[in-house]
Amino acid sequence: MLHDARARRPSAGNRIDLIGVPTDAGASCRGAALGPDDLRTAGLAERLAGLGYAVADLGDIDAGAPLSPAAEIEALAIGASKAAYRSLESGARPVFLGGDHSISMGSVAGVARHCRDAGRPLFVLWFDAHGDFNTWATTETGNIHGMSLARLCGEPGFHNAAEWFAPVNPANVLILGARALDCEEAQLIDERGVQVVDMDAIRVAGVATPLRHFLDRIEAANGHLHLSLDVDAMDPMLAPGVGTTVPGGLTLEEGQLVMAMLHASGRVGSLDLVELNPILDRLGRSADLMVDLTARLFGEPAETASPLPTAHLAA
């Protein structure tokens, strides 16, 4: 289990809520809207249930009538925020199935509201090749999924209504696996005090030490950890099914180690699985990888995890 029974780690129970947010409105490349169903088809619910969790698939959040991309993102953000709050209030752990990374504008905002009301600090692990810390003033592409973390950390230029939005303290954020930061974005990240462990640092010193330091901070603060897992954090040789591939990502062993450390910490209380694009995937390997990493996060032993076919790695 992610949460043990000791008083210093209040248990969120043994329940997991799967919540789909099928959208690619924040991205320039279409296809991520198919991600939630691809994760379901890859057996996510069955794998987690096999580990002893009570898994409820709550279906997908619906934006309603056809909307402009910006309006769709806003509608889904409000819905995801409310769904996150309800799930945590009920004692479950919400797992949001994306969808591009714009879904985190809502999911993390809802977690932040719950943590605020519960009097617990929120920490966010942004597991991603990108920083997603652009604003309307710094963006080079105009893609809204590249602004998610900036919005969550309270950067100006976004309309955040109090009934669904609460900000994240940028000092409590770790971007892990970054290797594609825009110049102005990187400067803003540094100014706001967001910690970045990029792939250059990981290649020199490994992933375990900086992650351990971050987890120790969360433990000392009795914090709630939200993991936002973007499939493009992994090397595209392992996970080609993403619209924004960046060479030189984490290896399978590094990704598995991160998930095992997160599980051992007992601190992950909510998460996003984002940017899976089945149209760009090959033989379902990216979906399989995301399911495998999620199962490892929830305690599946290494010896029982489904291996990725050797042919996939050589393709």
Q: How far apart are CA 16 and CA 93, in angstroms?
A: 5
pLDDT at 3 over 50: no
pLDDT at 313 over 80: no
pLDDT at 301 over 60: yes
Q: How far apart are CA 108 and CA 198, in angstroms?
A: 22
Q: How confident is the model at residue 302 (pLDDT cuts 50, 70, 90)?
A: confident
Q: For the residues 270-288, what does the mean pLDDT come to? A: 97
Q: How confident is the model at residue 306 (pLDDT cuts 50, 70, 90)?
A: low
pLDDT at 138 over 60: yes
Q: Is residue 100 left, alpha or beta, with left meaning phi > 0 and alpha meaning psi from -120 to 50?
A: beta
Q: How far apart are CA 30 and CA 23, in angstroms?
A: 9
pLDDT at 1 over 60: no
Q: How far apart are CA 111 and CA 199, in angstroms?
A: 28
pLDDT at 183 over 70: yes
Q: How far apart are CA 79 and CA 115, in angstroms?
A: 18
Q: For the residues 226-248, what does the mean pLDDT come to? A: 96
By the 10 Å C-beta count (0-12 exposed, 13-18 middle, 19+ buried), 148 is classed as buried
Kindly list the structural domains of the chain, giving each domain's residue range(s) and its CATH number in brackets, ordered by start.
15-306 (3.40.800.10)
Structure tokens given for 273: 């699985």
Among residues 101, 224, 263, 312, which one is catalytic?
101
Residue 230: active-site member: yes
Q: How confident is the model at residue 216 (pLDDT cuts 50, 70, 90)?
A: very high
Q: How confident is the model at residue 304 (pLDDT cuts 50, 70, 90)?
A: low
Kindly report, residue by residue over 32-42, the tens digit of the pLDDT.
999 999 999 99
pLDDT at 7: 29
Mean of pLDDT over the chain = 92
**What is the percent of the chain with per-residue pLDDT over 70, rounded to a whole number?**
92
Residue 281: active-site member: no
Residue 101: active-site member: yes
Q: Higher-confidence residue: 223 or 314? A: 223
Residue 254: active-site member: no
Find out whether 142 and 102 touch, Cβ atoms under 8 Å.
no
| Half-sphere exposure at residue 266, Cβ-oriented, CA atoms within 13 angstroms | 15
pLDDT at 13: 64
Amino acid sitting at position 24: D
Residue 74: active-site member: no
Q: How confident is the model at residue 141 (pLDDT cuts 50, 70, 90)?
A: confident
Among residues 38, 60, 100, 128, which one is catalytic?
128
Q: For the residues 295-309, what does the mean pLDDT come to? A: 76
Residue 24: active-site member: no
Residue 57: active-site member: no
